[in-house]
Amino acid sequence: MMARDPASDPPDYRKDETRLWLSVLDVYNFVYREVNRQLKEQTGISVSKFDVMAQLARYPEGLSMGDLSTRLKVSNGNVSGLVNRLRKEELVDKSMSADDRRSFVAVLTPAGRQRFEEAAALHADVLAKCFGHLDSDRLGETTAMLKSIIKSPSGKAPADND
């Protein structure tokens, strides 16, 4: 497939690109707000804390703070703050790494695993309500279309010089 030249796009195409971007933001804000609200109300966990716990649930042996930061695509400082707040709630434990004494490893506590499982079930229910009007085919098509946006023909995200 040959790449299009955005400079030759008609003005309506540019408006359509803007509409798509605004629609993506609308969907994100709608779903995020609803998931965050219900998680906080029913489990006391924000989406940010949920995301940390979800990563730790996938790695029962724990994750280094650096790995957690990389997987969540946030700064080390953000991860440290979230892990420390989860520690205060006794949902996460943090200890020095056996492999690298300069590094710490975070792990879910038993109470954290139980709370995460409750939150994960609620998270799934909220998503089902948000996307319930989409049949399986439409859901798959929409997901594929959105994923195609972040891939250029080369398989990399577009850069300024592309």
Say if residues 52 and 78 touch (Cβ distance below 8 Å): no
**DSSP secondary-structure letter at 4?**
P
Write the single-letter amino acid at 51: D
- The pLDDT assigned to 157 comes to 57
Q: DSSP readout, 100-124?
A: -TT-EEEEE-HHHHHHHHHHHHHHH
- The pLDDT assigned to 68 comes to 94
Sequence spans of domains, the chain: 23-149
- The pLDDT assigned to 3 comes to 64
Report residue 119 as tokens: 């939150």
Please state, in angstroms and rounded to a whole number, the distance separating the CA atoms of residues 52 and 64.
Answer: 12
Please state, in angstroms and rounded to a whole number, the distance separating the CA atoms of residues 153 and 158.
Answer: 9
- The pLDDT assigned to 162 comes to 43
Report residue 134 as tokens: 């989409």
- The pLDDT assigned to 160 comes to 46
| Right CATH for 23-149 from 1.10.10.10, 1.20.120.340, 1.10.390.10, 1.20.1560.10 | 1.10.10.10
- The pLDDT assigned to 11 comes to 74
Q: What pTM does this model have?
A: 0.81
Tens place of pLDDT per residue across the chain (162 aa): 556 666 777 778 888 889 999 999 999 999 999 999 999 999 999 999 999 999 999 999 999 999 999 999 998 888 999 999 999 999 999 988 777 767 789 999 999 999 999 999 999 999 999 999 999 999 999 999 999 888 765 556 555 444
With a CB cutoff of 8 Å and minimum separation 6, the contacts of 123 are: 35, 39, 50
